[in-house]
C-alpha cells in the first residue's frame, strides 16, 4: 500500500521495469546515504526528496533516481540531536511514498527534543505531508508548492482466470475485487490505516481528527495558498533567490546560447554533449534490450525510440503482451504446424534490429547505436 501521487508511482514502476545491462548485478549497486548538513546557527538540514521507501532500491540507485529511505530520516534526526542542533529543518520535495516505514519516521520527527520545521518546495503531498505534519511548523517556499493528497491507496488486478480462495472463517483474507463486497473489504482496510495516520496528523498539527478528515482536502492536492487557508500549513515564505541577470553576469554577461558556451567554455560544452549522448544511448539501449534480449516487440521499441520516449511501464506491458501472443501462436503451431517454407528465420530478427539501428542513426546524426 502506498501514499503517493499516481504519476510518481508509474515513474518508479517504469524504472523497475527497465532492463539492466547484463554486466550489472543488483547486489553490487550500493545505496548512498544522503548527508545531513549542519548550517549556520546550529540548524541541521535533512533532505527528504523524491519517493519515500522503506528500504534502498537497487534499480532506482542504478538509474540515479532520487528517493528517500524512511530509516535514513530516523538516523539523521538522531544524528542532529546528538550533534546538539538548535533546530532541525526537514527540506521536503516529495510526492509521498509507501506505508511501510512511515510510522517510525513520523514518530522520530514528532518525538525530537530539538525544535523542528518542515520547509516545503515543489511537493509536500501524501506520505511527505504526513511527515511534515509532525514538525513544529510547515513552511511553503512559494504559492505553487503543492500540498495535500492525504490518504491511502492500493490496487488489485481483476482476472477471470485466477481465483483466490480462503478458508470459510477468513473470507476477507482474499477479497474478490470484481465484486462490490470485495472492494468494500479492501476499503475497510485502507480506512483503518488512514484513521491511525489521521490521528497522528491531528496531534502534530494540534487540531482534531474531524478537521483532518473533512477539512484537509479529502485527498485532493492544492496550492500552498489554499492549504494555508485550510490551516494545513503555517506560512508561505519565499526562499531567497539570485536574480537571473546576476547569475548570468557570473558566467559572463547575458544568457548563453550553445555557440557561446562552446566557444567560451569548451570543456563544459564537451561534458554536456558527452552526458547528453550517454543519456540518449542509455535510453535507446533500454528499448533495444527489452525488444531483443527480453524477446519483446521490435516495432514497439522502434516507435518509442524515434518518438524520443523514455522506457515506461506502458512499454513493458506492450512487450509482455507481445511475448504472450507469441507463446500462444507457437503453442497453436505445435498442434497444427504450418508450411515450413514460410516459417520466419533467425535472420528476420537480425534484419529488423539492423533496420531499426539504421533508421535511428539516420534520424539522429552523430549518434551511433552500439
Q: What are phi and psi of 300, to 5 degrees?
A: -65, -45
CA distance 59 to 222: 31
What are the start-end ranges of the H helices in 56-179? 58-62, 70-82, 102-110, 127-132
The predicted pLDDT at position 107 comes to: 96
Q: What are phi and psi of 219, to 5 degrees?
A: 95, -5
Residues of CATH 3.90.226.10 domain(s) within the chain? 2-236
CA distance 296 to 292: 6
2-236: which CATH topology? 2-enoyl-CoA Hydratase; Chain A, domain 1 (3.90.226)
Q: Residue 2: which of 96, 106, 72 has the closest Cα?
A: 96
Exposure class string for 191-202: b at 16+ Cβ within 10 A, else e = eebbeebbebbb
Strands 68-69 and 87-94: unpaired
Q: What are phi and psi of 6, to 5 degrees?
A: -60, -45
- Apex CA 310: angle with CA 309 and CA 314, to 5°? 90
All 3 cell numbers of residue 113?
527534543
Q: What are phi and psi of 121, to 5 degrees?
A: -135, 140
The predicted pLDDT at position 249 comes to: 45
CA–chain centroid gap for 25, Å, is 22
Which mean pLDDT values do the consecutive 10-residue runs of the chain (370 residues) have?
A: 73 73 66 81 94 87 86 94 95 92 95 96 94 96 93 78 82 84 88 93 95 93 95 86 46 60 74 77 79 79 84 75 75 58 56 70 63
Q: CB–CB of 212/206 below 8 Å?
A: no
- Apex CA 88: angle with CA 83 and CA 93, to 5°? 130
The predicted pLDDT at position 160 comes to: 72
Q: CB–CB of 98/127 below 8 Å?
A: yes
Q: CB–CB of 259/265 below 8 Å?
A: no
Amino acid at each position: 500500500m502506498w501514499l503517493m501521487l499516481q504519476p510518481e508511482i508509474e515513474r518508479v514502476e517504469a524504472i523497475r521495469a527497465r532492463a539492466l545491462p547484463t554486466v550489472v548485478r543488483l547486489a553490487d549497486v550500493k545505496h548512498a546515504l544522503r548527508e545531513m548538513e549542519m548550517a549556520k546557527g546550529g540548524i541541521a538540514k535533512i533532505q527528504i526528496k523524491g519517493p519515500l521507501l522503506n528500504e534502498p532500491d537497487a534499480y532506482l540507485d542504478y538509474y540515479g533516481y532520487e528517493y528517500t529511505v524512511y530509516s535514513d530520516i530516523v538516523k539523521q534526526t538522531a544524528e542532529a540531536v546528538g550533534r546538539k542542533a538548535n533546530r532541525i529543518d526537514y527540506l521536503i520535495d516529495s510526492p509521498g511514498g509507501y506505508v511501510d516505514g512511515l510510522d517510525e519516521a513520523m514518530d522520530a520527527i514528532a518525538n525530537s527534543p530539538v525544535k523542528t520545521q518542515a520547509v516545503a518546495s515543489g511537493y509536500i503531498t501524501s506520505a511527505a505531508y504526513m511527515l511534515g505534519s509532525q514538525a513544529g511548523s510547515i513552511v511553503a517556499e512559494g504559492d505553487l508548492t503543492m500540498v495535500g493528497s492525504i490518504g491511502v491507496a492500493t490496487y488489485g488486478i481483476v482476472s477471470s482466470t485466477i481465483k483466490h480462495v480462503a478458508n470459510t472463517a477468513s473470507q476477507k483474507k482474499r477479497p474478490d475485487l470484481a465484486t462490490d463486497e470485495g472492494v468494500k473489504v479492501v476499503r475497510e482496510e485502507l480506512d483503518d490505516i488512514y484513521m491511525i495516520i489521521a490521528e497522528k496528523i491531528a496531534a502534530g498539527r494540534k487540531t482534531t481528527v474531524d478537521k483532518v478528515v473533512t477539512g484537509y482536502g479529502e485527498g485532493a492536492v492544492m496550492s500552498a495558498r489554499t492549504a494555508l487557508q485550510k490551516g494545513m500549513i503555517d506560512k508561505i515564505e519565499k526562499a531567497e533567490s539570485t536574480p537571473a541577470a546576476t547569475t548570468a553576469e557570473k558566467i559572463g554577461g547575458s544568457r548563453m546560447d550553445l555557440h557561446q558556451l562552446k566557444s567560451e567554455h569548451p570543456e563544459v560544452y564537451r561534458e554536456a554533449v558527452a552526458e547528453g549522448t550517454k543519456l540518449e544511448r542509455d535510453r535507446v539501449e533500454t528499448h533495444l534490450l527489452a525488444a531483443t534480449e527480453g524477446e519483446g516487440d521490435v516495432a514497439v521499441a522502434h516507435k518509442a525510440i524515434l518518438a524520443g520516449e523514455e522506457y515506461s511501464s506502458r512499454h513493458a506491458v506492450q512487450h509482455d503482451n507481445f511475448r504472450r501472443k507469441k507463446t500462444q501462436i507457437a503453442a497453436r503451431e505445435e498442434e497444427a504446424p504450418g508450411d515450413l517454407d514460410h516459417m520466419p528465420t533467425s535472420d528476420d530478427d537480425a534484419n529488423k534490429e539492423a533496420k531499426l539501428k539504421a533508421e535511428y542513426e539516420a534520424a539522429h546524426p552523430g549518434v551511433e547505436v552500439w
